[in-house]
């Protein structure tokens, strides 16, 4: 390089260095000379870039060292992304620490999550690393960054669990299609950051429903009673207890009902005398065995009585006094009142006792509240499947209650929420494929016209009603025809049905068979919900609609199918609560008829979940479609031209069917 050029470059470099030094000290020079200088912010962006903080380094995962908190369950890839995006939006300014020390608000939030078991949740799911919590005072830069990230991620997880639950409902059963709404992560952290009371804001992610709050209190009461061993006595499981039976458990039952042994009985104990000693022994055994069928007779009490002897009060005897007390208990707790202690009454008696399953039952049902919409509707229908009850709720208060029949374990009533938008008076019943193929087809094959006609059924093919005799039932594809029952007094849906279109094709409806409503357990349908007094229910349902009431609907009964559209859609919630608190403040528990509790307690890993497995009900295996049997070979026959045309017409008709259920 020529010497002159080298000299020019050297002078240029030195000049740049001098200019840079002047820029750095420009502020001081300006103070004395008042000369103009470049904007300070622009100068810093060139010569004094903002340093990368430990929090930014941790959140952007640019640290070269390993992550000491990688095993925290709530530090998932999604939660880390959400936390990183939140802090990036605030230029990585700390939220839960100040000068490296956790704030008082941070400690309060940590303490609130440590009480998560009060909400039916698990505190260990949100626990911060022990080495961060154990430190007192100022944290170094790296630990302060870890504290920020861990607390924010734990809060996100708690908010999601509190609002939407810990278990995906559909993972438990295909019959559960409830869709809980998860909170938006960015909104959770923004809400907590801007709230004047972050602890209350965090608590607000739990369900606002009165039913959830009542179970939360019941859970605290159960735990307190268990710790103090002050709860009511547990009536042991065993055979059905009823009047005339002697059993050691009756003494416990008396204590549970508040009957003192001395008050047992001042009257008589029945002694049966029979001519044949063997007959007497057999009668006594029959009486002791009891029955599981409400209202069944007792062989011992119905046997001929030869003598009655005065005996002192026997605490193990189920006498008339005990029966009256059981009867009163059943009436107070919404049970079938028959004075007999069967499985459902026994569970209700032990609802608040430490039977080893009450606490897990309440926790499982608190989880189910999280599956429901936050807003149930100011006026809504609430069906509780295990309780066999439907209620109308207005402004948080029950205004109507009725008995219902729900699906069998093999044909369960699904769990979900939707909106009722219309009613149908004089409904047709479109027989589902499963019922037609498994229950109707064998009888139809035996006598098509006779069977279908006697039950007011009709057959549609190609959208038109056809003569059942025109169908080859021995080899028919039931998806190519539709069977439906005409409106009338014997229609399976009765006189009216209440529609809320849904993927399960279930609804509430009337029924011509009323006897099942007298049963204690009422799981007999194919999935739909049968209402005991449908027009009374309709009257209460339409109380906000001035155009319709039960009287107007009854005038429409008879004749063809008629649709009534509702101007105001009504939310409908088909729920599954085996534990709830009634309006009198009593904890009520019901049997796990579908085995949902067994699966849920296991999925939640609630202590004692193994006990629920004895009630587990396996998901019913769908039966395969009936095997199509080949029609017997027919002898070759000569048909007239008219008969040939009729046969071709039938074949074309069968091939052009557009089946729908």
Q: Report whether 604 contacts 167 (CB < 8 A).
A: yes
What letters, b where the CB count within 10 A reaches 16 and e where it falls short, cover 560-580?
A: eebebebeeebbbbbbbbbbb
The β-bridge partners of 509 are 497, 530
Could you tell me how many residues make up the chain? 661
Q: Tell me which residue has tokens 């939030």.
A: 109
How many Å apart are CA 589 and CA 577, to the nearest integer? 8
Task: Give the residue from 553, 517, 547, 548 showing the smallest Cα distance to 532.
Answer: 517
How many Å apart are CA 492 and CA 29, to the nearest integer? 98
Q: 125 burial class (0-12, 13-18, 19+ CB within 10 angstroms)? A: middle
Here the contacts of 629-635 (C-beta below 8 Å, separation 24 or greater) are 629/474, 629/475, 630/475, 631/472, 631/474, 631/475
How many Å apart are CA 242 and CA 345, to the nearest integer? 12
What H or E segment, with its residue span, contains residue 87? Answer: helix 77-89
Q: What three-state secondary structure class fits 508?
A: strand
Task: Give the residue from 296, 303, 313, 265 showing the smallest Cα distance to 282.
Answer: 303
431: Cβ contacts below 8 Å, ≥ 6 apart: 440, 457, 482, 483, 484, 485
The β-bridge partners of 246 are 317
The DSSP 8-state label assigned to residue 95 in this structure reads: S
Q: Report whether 400 contacts 540 (CB < 8 A).
A: yes
How many Å apart are CA 335 and CA 329, to the nearest integer? 8
Q: What three-state secondary structure class fits 162?
A: helix
Catalytic residues: 509, 528
Task: Give the residue from 630, 617, 112, 607 showing the smallest Cα distance to 364.
Answer: 607
How many Å apart are CA 332 and CA 481, to the nearest integer? 50
How many Å apart are CA 462 and CA 470, to the nearest integer? 13
Task: Give the residue from 335, 316, 311, 301 showing the smallest Cα distance to 238.
Answer: 316
**DSSP one-letter string for 184-198:** PHHHHHHHHHH-S-H
How many Å apart are CA 462 and CA 432, to the nearest integer? 17
**DSSP one-letter string for 552-575:** HHHTT-SSS-EEEEEEEEEEEEEE
């Amino acid at each position: 390089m020529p010497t002159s050029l080298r000299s020019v470059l050297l002078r240029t470099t030195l000049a740049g260095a001098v200019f840079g030094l002047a820029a750095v000290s420009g502020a001081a020079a300006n103070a004395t000379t008042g000369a103009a200088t470049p904007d300070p912010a622009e100068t810093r962006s060139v010569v004094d870039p903002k340093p990368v903080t430990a929090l930014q380094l941790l959140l952007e995962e640019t640290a070269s060292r390993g992550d000491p908190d990688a095993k925290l369950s709530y530090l998932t890839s999604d939660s880390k992304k959400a936390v990183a995006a939140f802090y990036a939006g605030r230029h990585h300014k700390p939220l839960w620490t100040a000068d490296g020390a956790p704030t008082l608000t941070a400690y309060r939030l940590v303490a609130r999550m440590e009480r998560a078991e009060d909400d039916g949740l698990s505190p260990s799911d949100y626990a911060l690393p022990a080495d961060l919590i154990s430190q007192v005072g100022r944290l170094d830069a790296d630990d302060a960054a870890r504290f920020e990230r861990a607390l924010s991620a734990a809060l996100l997880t708690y908010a999601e669990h509190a609002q939407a639950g810990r278990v995906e409902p559909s993972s438990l059963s295909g019959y559960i299609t409830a869709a809980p709404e998860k909170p938006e992560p960015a909104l959770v952290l923004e809400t907590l950051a801007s709230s004047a009371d972050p602890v209350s804001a965090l608590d607000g992610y739990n369900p606002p429903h009165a039913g959830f709050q009542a179970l939360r209190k019941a859970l605290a009461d159960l735990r307190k009673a268990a710790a103090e061993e002050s709860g009511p006595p547990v009536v042991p499981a065993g055979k059905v207890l009823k009047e005339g039976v002697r059993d050691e458990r009756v003494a416990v039952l008396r204590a549970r009902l508040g009957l003192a042994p001395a008050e047992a009985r001042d009257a008589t104990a029945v002694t049966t005398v029979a001519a044949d000693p063997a007959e007497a022994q057999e009668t006594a055994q029959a009486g002791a065995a009891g029955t599981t069928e409400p209202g069944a007779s007792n062989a011992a009490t119905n046997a001929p009585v030869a003598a009655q002897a005065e005996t002192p009060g026997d605490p193990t005897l189920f006498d008339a006094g005990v029966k009256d007390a059981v009867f009163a208990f059943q009436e107070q707790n919404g049970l079938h009142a028959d004075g007999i202690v069967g499985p459902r009454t026994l569970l209700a008696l032990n609802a608040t006792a430490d039977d080893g399953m009450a606490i897990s039952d309440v926790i499982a049902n608190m989880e189910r509240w999280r599956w429901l919409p936050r807003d149930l509707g100011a006026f809504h229908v609430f069906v509780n499947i295990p309780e066999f009850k439907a209620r109308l709720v207005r402004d948080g208060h029950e205004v109507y209650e009725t008995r219902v029949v729900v699906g069998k374990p093999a044909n369960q009533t699904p769990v979900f929420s939707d909106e009722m938008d219309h009613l149908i008076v004089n409904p047709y019943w479109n027989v589902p494929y499963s019922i037609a193929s498994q229950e109707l087809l064998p009888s139809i094959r035996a006598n098509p016209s006779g069977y279908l006609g006697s039950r007011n059924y009709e057959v549609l093919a190609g959208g038109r009603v056809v003569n059942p005799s025109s169908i080859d039932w021995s080899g028919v594809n039931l998806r190519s025809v539709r069977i439906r029952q005409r409106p009338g007094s014997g229609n399976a849906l009765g006189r009216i049905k209440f529609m809320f279109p849904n993927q399960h094709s279930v609804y509430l409806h009337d029924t011509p068979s009323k006897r099942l409503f007298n049963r204690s357990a009422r799981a007999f349908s194919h999935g739909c919900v049968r209402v005991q007094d449908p027009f009374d229910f309709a009257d209460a349902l339409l109380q906000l609609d001035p155009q319709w009431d039960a009287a107007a609907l009854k005038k429409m009964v008879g004749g063809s199918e008629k649709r009534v559209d509702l101007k105001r859609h009504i939310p409908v919630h088909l729920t599954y609560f085996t534990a709830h608190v009634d309006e009198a403040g009593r904890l009520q528990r019901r049997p796990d008829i579908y085995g949902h509790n067994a699966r849920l307690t296991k999925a939640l890993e609630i202590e004692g979940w193994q006990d629920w497995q004895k009630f587990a009900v396996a998901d019913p295996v769908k039966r395969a479609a009936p095997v199509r049997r080949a029609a017997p070979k027919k002898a070759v026959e000569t048909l007239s031209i008219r008969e040939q045309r009729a046969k071709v017409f039938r074949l074309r008709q069968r091939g052009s069917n557009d089946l729908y259920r």
